Structure 1
Amino acid sequence: MKVGDKKLVYTVTIPIRWGDMDAMGHVNNTVYFQYMEQARIEWLAMMGCLPDENGNGAVIVNAHCTFKKPLKYPGQVEVCTYISNMGRTSFETTQEMRSVGDGYSLYAEGGAKVVWVDAVTEKSVVLPEVIKQTFAEFKSEQKRRR
């Protein structure tokens, strides 16, 4: 994926907690997924897209992470969330995790495929308008730049 094919939608700084570390003295691999989840959920909440009264909402169908360098306590991690590859019922998130205290060096990158699901039927449904609009605005910006 080219850099221009994704839209930065949210950035958050998360403090690294003592309990995030493992026996090796660095942040446990599973915690990176928690950092990505926290950023993704905060963005969805900001967009007003948490599960609705019927329980319809975002479901992760796959997630991945590539670890570049180990994060360590104490510190802060900046998580940048991008969206791309929007379809009728799903989109991709890509996330970068950078150490605030290390010149914002890239420590990990990952992401997830998000599908919007009807909680009763457990089938995919059309994405909320606000998410589709965010991506449509991005596509319009790209066309104007060309």
Structure 2
Amino acid sequence: MTQRPAHARKVLTTKIPVRWGDMDAFGHVNNTIYFRYFEQARVEWLEALGYRGVAGVSPSPVLVHADCNFLKPVTYPAVCEVTVYAGEPGRSSVTSWYELRLVGDETLYATGSGKMVWVDAATGRSTPLPDDLRRALSGSPG
């Protein structure tokens, strides 16, 4: 289980409503849905960096690792607030961390992380991060 390092920087906070269908037979949000919430936040972050519609674009990010620590059950109705933190970019990858709270509640309900690797669609191999993305991830001016 990956712990967010102190050097990770906050890059996005988004709100995601809990849908009735997100719950399971036990009356709380199913564990698989937390990964969907993290995914939505990650996609919004990539879109904010200018990476819209990455499907079919090469190189593009591929999620190679994901984890979640389920700390407290989420139930309907609620609105989740997912905060994304980013680490320093590697040669072809970047790791992000997530914190899930409910709007109006400072309690931490879940934490997680994900590692994305940029892959060349033609070869299926990792490729260096695009320069503009590296600058954005490093917080350097364009």
Pairwise same-fold verdict (TM > 0.5) = yes
Does structure 1 retain, via aligned residues, the 8 Å contact 2:88–2:138?
no
The one of 114, 117, 127 aligned to 1:115: 117
Q: For structure 2, which runs of at least 5 residues remain unmatched after alignment?
A: none
Q: Output the TM-score relative to the length of structure 1.
A: 0.86
Question: Identity over the aligned pairs, expressed in percent?
Answer: 45
Deviating beyond 6 angstroms after TM superposition, the runs of 4 or more aligned structure 1 residues are: none
Once the 2 structures are TM-superposed, how far is the Cα of residue 30 of structure 1 from its aligned partner?
0.1
**Structure ranking higher in helix proportion:** 1
C-alpha displacement at 1:6, in angstroms? 0.2
Alignment equivalent of 2:5, drawn from 2, 6, 20: 2
Tell me the number of residue pairs that the alignment of Structure 1 and Structure 2 aligns.
Answer: 137
Distance in 1 (alpha carbons) for counterparts of 2:87 and 2:106? 23
Unaligned runs of 5+ in 1: 141-146
**Are 1:96 and 1:106, in contact at CA under 8 Å, matched by a contact in 2?**
yes
**Residue 76 of structure 1 is aligned with which of 70, 76, 79?**
79
Q: Which residue, out of 59, 63, 71, partners 1:60?
A: 63
Secondary structure at the residue paired with 1:123? coil
Tell me what 2:107 maps to: 105
1:1-146 counterparts in 2 under 5 A?
A: 1-3=4-6, 5-50=7-52, 51=54, 54-101=57-104, 103-137=105-139
Deviation at 1:52, TM superposition (A): 6.8
Once the 2 structures are TM-superposed, how far is the Cα of residue 47 of structure 1 from its aligned partner?
1.0
1:124 is paired with a residue whose SS is: coil
2:55 and 2:27 map into 1 onto residues whose CA distance is 40
SS at 1:127's partner residue?
coil
SS at match of 2:139: helix
1: CA distance, partners of 2:28 / 2:59:
36
User: What TM-score results when the alignment is normalised by the length of structure 2?
Assistant: 0.88
